[in-house]
Amino acid sequence: MNSLLPASFAQHAIDVEGVRINTRVGGEGPPILLLHGYPQTHAIWHLVAPRLAATHTVVLTDLRGYGDSDKPPSDASHTPYAKRAMARDQLLVMRELGFERFAVVGHDRGGRVAHRLALDHPRTVSALAVLDIVPTRHAYRRADADFGRGYYHWFFLTAGNNIPEHLIGGDPEFWIRARMSARHHGGTPFDPEAQAEYVRCFSDPAAIHASCEDYRAASSIDLVHDEEDVAAGRRLTQPLLVLWGEHSFVGRHYDVPAVWAEYADNVRGAALPCDHYVPEEAPEKTLAHLRDFLAAHNRP
């Protein structure tokens, strides 16, 4: 267990239908689930979670395939790493902890899991916040040369024949540090202990493979589910907060609130003075926006 979070955050290994999800829980009050992105673990929230715990019960998890959670085998359909499967993990974790209704905040891949969780279980998710993403469907449908250059990893990580697994596995520490440094702009520097934790977890070949499966699912089965939602008229009905880095690809290439308004009924948002890793680069402003949003929409 890393020391980035206070000892008051109890650690649990919660079994959900045969997949163990590494979980930390701290604080008291209305429940909120925080989900990390690629290539991080729950440790990305180390500057935000302890202060949210002053007013909330804060639950942090490692997504399946990441951190110290299980890395179940995949298949040709990539369904085990569909956001629907990953979202169900989180639903069952919260139920195991006794929470039937809760707010969710997701950064990057965790934002995509949170989006799916809110769509599939609208009565369970009381409020939703997503950090530095637009919906997967929107990103793929409007992909161009700029997107390919900025988000080349979306295509590289989906390659077959274990190509990304082999190349990343040759020097996972370089991959982690290079990816993160390329998407940081001013603000709070990365904590060396946090980066060491990401490197530790990602040095497991099973984690590299699972994370590739996450991206392979996003380019295949996830898009099928997304198109089904659009065809059925399913939208996010919960209050939605969108935060993004003004220097990030998302901030520079999309009208973020307008994009999300195509998928959600009640959107508010703000750009923060950072790049992609919003909770680590701009923790104070992230915390302020989350506190205001949760105070209005996540009462007991």
Provide the CATH number for the domain around residue 47: 3.40.50.1820
User: Which of 68, 108, 222, 226 is flagged as catalytic?
Assistant: 108
Q: How confident is the model at residue 225 (pLDDT cuts 50, 70, 90)?
A: very high
Whether residue 4 lies inside any domain: the answer is no
Please tell me the predicted confidence (pLDDT) of residue 210. 98
pTM: 0.97
Q: How confident is the model at residue 186 (pLDDT cuts 50, 70, 90)?
A: confident
Range of the domain at 76: 10-297
Active site residue 171: no
Active site residue 15: no
Share of the chain above pLDDT 70, in %: 99
Please tell me the predicted confidence (pLDDT) of residue 297. 84
Please tell me the predicted confidence (pLDDT) of residue 211. 98
113-160 pLDDT per residue, tens: 999 999 999 999 999 999 999 999 999 999 999 999 999 999 999 999
Whether residue 54 lies inside any domain: the answer is yes
Over 60: is that where the pLDDT of 300 sits? no
Whether residue 251 lies inside any domain: the answer is yes
β-pairing verdict for 10-16 and 19-26: antiparallel
Domains held by the chain: number:
1
Whether residue 217 lies inside any domain: the answer is yes
| Average pLDDT for 35-58 | 97
Whether residue 3 lies inside any domain: the answer is no
Query: Could you give phi then psi for residue 250, rounded to 5 degrees?
Result: -60, -50
For the chain, give the mean pLDDT.
Answer: 96
Over 70: is that where the pLDDT of 166 sits? yes
Whether residue 91 lies inside any domain: the answer is yes
Whether residue 2 lies inside any domain: the answer is no
User: Which of 56, 115, 209, 276 is flagged as catalytic?
Assistant: 276
Whether residue 1 lies inside any domain: the answer is no
